[in-house]
Amino acid sequence: MADKLVGKIAHYYDKIGVAVVELLTTIKVGDTIKIKAPEASQRETDFTQTIDSMQVEHEQVQTAKKGDAIGMKVEQEVKAGDKVYKAEEQ
């Protein structure tokens, strides 16, 4: 089953390792996501991580929905425009 596109990176705060993700669908803490650079870019960003925590407007939330912009810690550097997928359980 293919991974499902759930949003895209809107901004990355490199000093604190936090990405702002604009959501296209609902995600929750504990979900496994994949972050990939757009195919047209020359970058190699492509990694998987679990969402440990996320915030909407500086409030900790367990679930975020379509249209929300969430802040979450990422394990590697990302760039605006990178795509965020929800990894399908095997």
pLDDT at 42: 86
pLDDT band of 2, cuts 50, 70, 90? confident
Q: Residue 49, by phi and psi: left (phi above 0), alpha (psi -120 to 50) or beta?
A: beta
pLDDT tens digits for range 26-83: 999 999 999 999 988 888 899 999 999 999 999 999 999 999 999 999 999 999 999 9
Note the pTM of the prediction, 2 decimals. 0.92
Residue 63 CA to its chain's centroid (Å) = 13
- Sorted by where each begins, the domain ranges of the chain are 4-86
CATH code of 4-86, in short, is 2.40.30.10
pLDDT band of 14, cuts 50, 70, 90? very high
